[in-house]
Chain A
């Protein structure tokens, strides 16, 4: 394990129950990160999606890829990442290839397509048991956080 949850929380603004990275297991700074997320069968979203037939919502799989993408941005632009900017998703083009179930472990890989100071385009994929279950090209803008008084 390279990065534990405390380190991840210092980078990602998301928190439980909307934090979809447990640990970062590989880092090639500026190029690629690989992260892991265990899907607790007790997670709330499984209760409603769907009763008696729990499947992880695709939108949450995309969120996991987006969170890994933010971590990749941080490794590429650490000086900006350390300012805790806001990250705004601007486009997601995701494909879901297989259902994901309670108890599965997601292996989430994010690769640098192009990262600049003010945004990023990332290629990401998710594997379960070495099988690709989702792929995505996503982009997000990186914006300095406004202060509490809006300035």
Chain B
């Protein structure tokens, strides 16, 4: 998987879990403030990322991730993608 493919899939995945169009999901939109993502929805997003990309997201990261960009950066790190 390339970095670009990951970015596209992450956007679609997060948008699907949140329940909005990927077109409306801006990379730096704040999950809580702009997208009404609460801590429970953050757990669901994390689970979806783990199952899709076969990675384990450290639990302490869940509350720190505030945007799609941050989530994508973390997924890249866990997959060793540049």
8 A Cβ contacts from A112-148 to B: 113-114, 116-121, 139-141
Q: Is B36 an interface residue (CB 8 A)?
A: no
A119 to B62 Cα, complex, angstroms = 11
Inside 8 A of A116's CB, which chain B residues have their CB? 43, 46, 59, 62
Q: Is A90 an interface residue (CB 8 A)?
A: yes
Contact A119 B59 (CB under 8 A): no
Contact B40 A114 (CB under 8 A): no
Q: Is A95 an interface residue (CB 8 A)?
A: no
Contact B47 A119 (CB under 8 A): no
Which size class do B's interface residues fall under? 10 to 19
Mask, A86-100, CB within 8 Å of B = 1, is: 000011000000000
Given the known interface contacts A113-B47, A114-B50, the answer about A139 and B59 at a Cβ–Cβ threshold of 8 Å is: no
A114 to B39 Cα, complex, angstroms = 12
Mask, A69-81, CB within 8 Å of B = 1, is: 0000000000000
A118 to B59 Cα, complex, angstroms = 10
Inside 8 A of A114's CB, which chain B residues have their CB? 43-44, 46-47, 50
Which size class do A's interface residues fall under? 10 to 19
A113 to B48 Cα, complex, angstroms = 8
Q: Is B38 an interface residue (CB 8 A)?
A: yes
Contact B40 A90 (CB under 8 A): yes
Contact B47 A91 (CB under 8 A): no
8 A Cβ contacts from B39-66 to A: 39-41, 43-44, 46-47, 50-51, 59, 62
Contact B59 A120 (CB under 8 A): no
**12 sampled A-B residue pairs with Cβ under 8 A:** A90-B38, A90-B40, A91-B40, A113-B44, A113-B47, A114-B46, A114-B50, A116-B43, A119-B40, A121-B44, A121-B47, A141-B39
B residues neighboring A (CB under 8 Å)? 38-41, 43-44, 46-47, 50-51, 59, 62
A residues neighboring B (CB under 8 Å)? 90-91, 113-114, 116-121, 139-141
